[in-house]
Amino acid sequence: MTSAPSECQETLPEGPWEHVGMADDTTAVVWDEALLGYDMGDHPMNPVRVELTMALARDLGVLDRPGVRLITPQPATETQLTRVHRADYLDAVRQAPIDPFFLGWGLNTPDNPVFDGMHDSSARICGASIAAVEAVWHGSARRAVNVAGGLHHAMPARAAGFCVYNDPAVAIAWLLDHGAQRVAYLDVDVHHGDGVQAIFYDDPRVLTVSLHETPLALFPGTGFCDETGGPGAEGTAVNVPLPPGTGDAGWLKAYHAVVPSVVRAFAPEIIVSQCGADAHRLDPLADLTLSVDCQRAAYLAMRELADELCDGRWVALGGGGYALVEVVPRAWSHLLAVATGEPLDPATRTPGSWRKLAAGRRPGVPVPETMGDGPPSGEIPQWSPGLASDPVDRAVLATRLAVFPLHGLDPYDPRD
């Protein structure tokens, strides 16, 4: 299967990066204001969060760094979309906005209201994520970012959780069709990455790892530790369900106790991350209590893992995040900075030009004056199987017991 080259991107040969050489210092940032057309109206998933992210990153100089390459995406084609979604579902997405009584397919609900241009806007986000993986896989960039992407709940024939089409899955399918044999997908959204997991549950070429609030307390009600992959793909789904109230230290402890070990054992050729910002303590739709500084630390950890295992090949997508002014723009500007080079100091002041823009977009909402909330307190504690009184440690042990043996790892050994 072939795909049309992304706009502003040269046509490159099929196959993995070795065929064309790696652009050592290049990061592709996929962006077009048309991506703001994914607009559900008076709804938590408001595109102002993406607009303010790109404005903040630009005002901080992140997008002007050497080696940053801006790519304008084209919408994903019918062929690319139907690698993941059913053709009749695509027809429903096109039909729903012109039929006020449309029901079915998860559309026209409070979570997934219909809006004009829904198919085109959703296809463009998928095309942006394809452009990101294409740039990295073909070697014209080492890393790539699409902050408008990360719509990880959509199923092959159903909208869910504010997501119409599943752009991470469409992008991963593109990689598989272009020669990738081992793709690691890391999801740090507060909600379980259920759509991506379901789509690749039986595919041993895709490792899905999700850290999220426990499904006992939060949508979508999946992501238990015993969801480990289908027949022939055992161990390729990894879930770390965390208790409500988990903060920086517990979250980082859980990440480092599970993620590096299973990803190293899987030995991916490329890492795709969904970087939802809704695990932050100010997010109105969930109950974890992370800081922006912790989210920055997570992005650094993912970049380091890609550097260690994949020669730096890392594609980062956005995702959830509903503190539209207070959190998301800062978190994803840190993501863009980590992907493009030097991390931003959390003590950096937000530019006055950006604060003025943010105040105008959301009058009455407090506008952050610095890029951080204060560093995670103390050193990251090391996970131990003996700390049964700690709910995070129990959650980690349950995950390790479920999946580590499937990768030849010792669930009780903190060194694994």
| Mean pLDDT for all residues in the chain | 93
Domain 17-407 in this protein, CATH class = alpha beta
What residues contact residue 98 under an 8 Å CB cut-off, 6+ apart? none
pLDDT tens digits, 284-327: 999 999 999 999 999 999 999 999 999 999 999 999 999 999 99
Sheet holding 270-274, edge to edge: 68-71, 27-30, 143-146, 314-317, 270-274, 183-187, 206-213, 237-242
Q: Is the pLDDT assigned to residue 407 strictly greater than 50? A: yes
Q: Is the pLDDT assigned to residue 363 strictly greater than 60? A: yes
pLDDT tens digits, 234-244: 999 999 999 99
Q: Which sequence spans correspond to the domains of the chain? A: 17-407
Confidence of residue 389 (pLDDT cuts 50, 70, 90): confident
- The answer to whether the beta carbons of residues 234 and 403 sit under 8 Å apart is no
What residues contact residue 300 under an 8 Å CB cut-off, 6+ apart? 338, 343
pLDDT value at position 381?
A: 83
The CA-to-CA distance between both ends of the chain, in Å, stands at 39
- CA count, 13 A, side-chain hemisphere, 350: 27
pLDDT value at position 378?
A: 63
Residues acting as catalytic residues:
153
pLDDT tens digits, 196-232: 999 999 999 999 999 999 999 999 999 999 999 999 9
pLDDT value at position 5?
A: 36
pLDDT tens digits, 323-346: 999 999 999 999 999 999 999 999
Q: Helices marked H in 138-270 — which ranges?
A: 167-177, 194-199, 248-266
Q: Is the pLDDT assigned to residue 20 strictly greater than 50? A: no
pLDDT value at position 380?
A: 80
Crossing angle of the two packed helices 118-137 and 87-95, in degrees rounded to 10:
130
Residue 194: CB atoms within 10 Å: 27
